[in-house]
Amino acid sequence: DVKVTQSSRYLVKRTGEKVFLECVQDMDHENMFWYRQDPGLGLRLIYFSYDVKMKEKGDIPEGYSVSREKKERFSLILESASTNQTSMYLCASSLMGQKRTQYFGPGTRLLVL
Partner 1 sequence: KQEVTQIPAALSVPEGENLVLNCSFTDSAIYNLQWFRQDPGKGLTSLLLIQSSQREQTSGRLNASLDKSSGRSTLYIAASQPGDSATYLCAVRPRANSGGSNYKLTFGKGTLLTVNP
Chain residues in the site for partner 1 (CB under 8 A): 4, 31, 33, 40-43, 45, 48, 50, 56, 58, 88, 90, 92, 94, 98-99, 101-107, 109
Q: Which is nearer to partner 1, 42 or 79 (CB)?
A: 42
Q: Which is nearer to partner 1, 5 or 15 (CB)?
A: 5
Alpha-carbon span 80 to 51, nearest angstrom:
26
Q: Which is nearer to partner 1, 77 or 104 (CB)?
A: 104
Provide the b/e sequence for 10-48 (b: ≥16 CB within 10 Å): ebebeeeeebebbbbbeeebbbbbbbbeeeeeeeebbbb
